[in-house]
Amino acid sequence: MYRIIQQFRDVWFPVVGKNPPFWFRARDPKFKEPVIRLCEACLEGIEAIMTVKPEFLIDQLLYDGTCSADDIIVLSIMFDQMPRNALAIQYGRFHNSNPVEVKQNLDDSFSLRFAKVVLQNIDIKAIKDHRMICFFSLVFRHSNDFERARNVLLLLREIEGTDHDLPPLAAKFWQETLKREQQINS
């Protein structure tokens, strides 16, 4: 499992400060290649791991000592992002599927349950890469748990030691969360 996490992290979160252009444009043909590589390397393994109860999985990861807090956050992000990106590029079981229909029926229950367990067991403020915290908030936004999504992003203020503006990437995630919440509530 550690190998899958590392493969994902190396592509999704390269050197700090370098945000991959494919993050929000997986469907764009010029950015499809890294998403295909991620799917080939990680999707099957992630789907197999998602058959384990989140509580058992987190206990195993925390107590066997092979995964750090960062690794567990990355795993949570993978549970959320891999199916979405496979759908975006029509990879594997999503080949020739109707993206709109499948996205409406994409099951976020595992990633949400796992993320809630992560919040109970991991000190998010110890995560050094703020991009990971931003993407971790997406697990909650995608599950329409907007309050938790905002609370995760607000942790960045505590990490930065400020009560002022969020860092630019976090502010983008904040605005997108508010926009999604307004869409759902209207």
Give, as one character, the DSSP assignment of residue 10. H
The two three-digit tokens of residue 84, written as one number: 């979405």
**Does position 105 have pLDDT exceeding 50, yes or no?**
no
CA distance 13 to 161: 24
Residue 8: exposure state from Cβ atoms within 10 A (0-12, 13-18, ≥19): buried
Distances (CA, A) of 167 to 10, 59, 153, 179: 23, 32, 10, 18
- The closest of 29, 25, 10 to 129, measured between CA atoms, is 10
Per-residue pLDDT band for 76 (boundaries 50, 70, 90) equals very high
The answer to whether 134 and 171 are in contact (CB under 8 A) is no
Residue 101 has a pLDDT of 54
Domain locations in the chain as residue ranges: 2-185
pLDDT, tens digit (0-9, with 9 covering 90-100), for 130-172: 999 999 999 999 999 999 999 999 998 888 777 778 888 899 9
